[in-house]
Amino acid sequence: MHNAIRAAVVFVGMVSGFSSCSKGGASAAPDTRIKKAPPILAWRIDPVSGTRQNRELATVGVAVLDGDTLEIDGSSTLEVSISIESPTHVATLSGVTQKAATSGIARFGGLRVDTPGTDYRLIASATDRPEVEKAASSSFTIRKDPQHVIVMVADGWGNQQLEATRSYTNTPAPFDGPSGYATLHVSNFSLDTIDATKGEYDILRAWNDIGYLVDTPTDSAASSTAMFCGQKTRNGRIACSGDGSQRFRTVAEEALAAGFGCGAVTTVPISHATIAAFLAHNTSRLHGYAIADEMLFGDPNTTGTSSKNIAWSGGLGPSTPSADVVLGAGHPSWYRATNNIYVSPDMIAKLRLDTTSSGAWRFFERQTGHVDAGALLLTAASDPQISRLTGIWGSSTGNMEYARADGSGLEPENPTLAQMTDAALRLLTRNTQRDVAKSNGFLLVIEGGAIDWACHDNRLGEMIGEMREFHSAIERVEAWVEEPLNDSDWQNTLLIVTGDHETGFLSAGYGSFPGTPIGRVDSTTLALEKQVKGRGTRASWDDADNDDEIDSGEVVHWVWQSLGHSNQLVPLYLRGKLSNDLSSQASLDPVRGAFVDSTALHSLMRRALGL
């Protein structure tokens, strides 16, 4: 019983007796004095049930009652000790467990219990006063400490993209310097890359053969399958074997089955390859309708079949339960391209119906004139009545409008990546804290997908703008981890920041290897970027004769050597739980240092979640 005195009833009687014979044989008079009863301990503030293991319990209090009046003895300074007991669990109670009463009450703050369990009781006793009966608190539970894994994928980034962003902003990235991050690199070879190059990443060829770096590179489908399933596949396959016959089990499926929450956030269409390989399975990344149906509703043919549109083809069975949060782009009302194979109008109609009929999803979408999309989303994410949240926004290009290097370009009818990240964290945290089925923690993937699109277009200004948005999302995640009310810290949370491949082969010049720094990046050199005659790619240089060719003697600031992906290593930053675990299995590149294969990230996620 909280905030009330609980004590056993003590009956105090009159004690009488006779002493031994007095001197001279006369009997002594009987002792008619009443003996004072010993003090009684009673729990005034009971433990709060549901506290996480190794987290501070709310302050508890034990009252010292006068044994005769059963009232709190305000003058008592009795020394009180407390311990913990349970009929089914063995736990250690840490903190200050012995205190003197003040004004008749001994209060204990900062106590922690190291083992989750039920039917715990705190036992109060009087130090060095064995005649004082012990008192047990009401029973309480200690919940398992949640475990969180947050994976942030800068699709298409490489070391040169990072350097360009640092150069323009003159600001370090969140993971630079003494920030607590372990720094490695990742190789993302697909089965197609391995076949073409006759093996995995080769540290000698990578720095001596330009052709090797662009020979059949991985795509996001194969790379993300390796990351989220721990197995290699061919380009274009979504969480399945190279021949498309075998469905792989994703880490998201494992997490959901084990009582974890799960979510995904992206700046490109929700069924694009990276998020697709996290939440769905398909024989082709081009079957976006089936992928989105599986992500949102479990069944890849919930809203249509291949007879209606080929984009509903290739499903490999349902995925249940599905995720708790899916936020991104690809809204068909905005992306009207003939090749929009990502989100169908049928899905939008079903999501709208779900929202109006108290269905599974609370749905948000881009609407003309609603210039507070981010605020509306965050309000919904904070609503305790909402446990599943999806949003689909977008633009004429399919993704959210590009952020530009100077911070312009964002459309307020779409939320930012940081706002979507914030919304996902709020909802997943609340589910973890209040829903027993989701109390183990969560797994969240956040993709800066438009970085890749900007690199495919060879537009450094838009790439930098998207990188800055990605960095803002990282800072939001860091702030969330360090907020104690979230049941999170760097001991129970693993943050992975990486890319699934490099795009554009950003370089100091044509024929240059990626270890050579690019030139100055500022508003002036960004304005110089344009198509190079006869190359098919863009570059920034001082074109003195304005002939669109890079002539001898003209200063080159940077070039894009490709419109596609490359085989170079991409950066990997790890912070928090198990962040140093990959170092022991890393290989050594002569320029980039320690690196691992992308499949190693899958096993790291599983270990961090305890799967």
Strands 93-94 and 60-65: unpaired
Q: How many other β-carbons are positioned within 10 Å of the β-carbon of residue 436? A: 8
DSSP state letter for 430? H
Which stretch of DSSP H or E encloses residue 52? strand 51-52
Confidence of residue 56 (pLDDT cuts 50, 70, 90): confident
Per residue in 554-567, pLDDT tens? 999 999 999 999 99
Entry pTM: 0.85
pLDDT for 252 equals 98
pLDDT for 286 equals 97
Ranked by mean pLDDT, the top range of 41-55, 85-99, 135-149, 521-535 is 521-535
Q: Cα–Cα distances in Å, from 92 out to 49, 54, 81, 114, 484? A: 17, 10, 15, 6, 22
Q: DSSP for 72-83?
A: B-TT---EEEEE
pLDDT for 229 equals 98
Cβ–Cβ under 8 Å, residues 417 and 470: yes
Taking 70 as the threshold, does the pLDDT of residue 425 lie above it? yes
Question: Which tokens hold the place of 234?
Answer: 């061919």
> Comparing 96 with 357, which gets the higher pLDDT?
96
Per residue in 12-51, pLDDT tens? 333 333 333 344 445 556 655 667 899 999 999 999 987 8
Number of helices (H), then strands (E), in the chain: 14, 28
What residue spans of 269-341 are helical by DSSP H?
273-279, 288-297
Strands 60-65 and 40-45: antiparallel
Strands 441-447 and 362-365: unpaired
* pLDDT over 90, % of the chain: 83
Mean pLDDT of 315-341: 91
- Rounded Cα distance between 180 and 195, Å, is 38
Cβ–Cβ under 8 Å, residues 252 and 442: no
Which stretch of DSSP H or E encloses residue 424? helix 417-434
Mean pLDDT of 386-391: 94
Per residue in 157-192, pLDDT tens? 999 999 999 999 999 999 998 779 999 999 999 999
Q: Residues 6 or more apart from 31 whose CB is under 8 A from it? A: 15, 16, 17, 19
Question: Which tokens hold the place of 111?
Answer: 């106590």
- Rounded Cα distance between 65 and 106, Å, is 12
pLDDT for 178 equals 78
Taking 70 as the threshold, does the pLDDT of residue 394 lie above it? yes
Angle at 608 between CA 606 and CA 611, to 5 degrees: 40
Per residue in 189-235, pLDDT tens? 999 999 999 999 999 999 999 999 999 999 999 999 999 999 999 99
Q: Hey, CA dihedral for 514, 519, 522, 524, is it positive or negative?
A: negative
Confidence of residue 574 (pLDDT cuts 50, 70, 90): very high
Closest CA to 123 of 42, 196, 50, 13: 42
pLDDT for 269 equals 97
Strands 565-566 and 570-576: unpaired
Cβ–Cβ under 8 Å, residues 76 and 101: yes
Q: DSSP for 482-494?
A: T-GGGT--TTTEE
Q: Name 65's bridge partners.
A: 40, 72
pLDDT for 34 equals 66
Per residue in 103-132, pLDDT tens? 999 999 999 999 988 899 999 999 889 999
Taking 90 as the threshold, does the pLDDT of residue 357 lie above it? no
Most distant CA pair in the chain: distance in Å? 136
- Rounded Cα distance between 369 and 392, Å, is 16
Taking 60 as the threshold, does the pLDDT of residue 553 lie above it? yes
DSSP state letter for 372? T
pLDDT for 355 equals 85
Per residue in 460-495, pLDDT tens? 999 999 999 999 999 999 999 999 889 899 999 999
Taking 70 as the threshold, does the pLDDT of residue 4 lie above it? no
> Cis omega before residue 517 (within 30°)?
no
pLDDT for 51 equals 81
Minimum mean pLDDT range among 67-71, 443-447, 469-473: 67-71
Backbone angles phi, psi at 71, to 5 degrees: -105, 155
Minimum mean pLDDT range among 139-153, 347-361, 576-590: 347-361
- Rounded Cα distance between 241 and 253, Å, is 17
Closest CA to 264 of 357, 36, 255, 67: 255
Taking 80 as the threshold, does the pLDDT of residue 306 lie above it? yes
Q: What's CA 315's distance to the chain center, in Å?
A: 27
Taking 80 as the threshold, does the pLDDT of residue 350 lie above it? yes
Closest CA to 572 of 541, 539, 600: 600
pLDDT for 29 equals 60
Cβ–Cβ under 8 Å, residues 218 and 501: yes
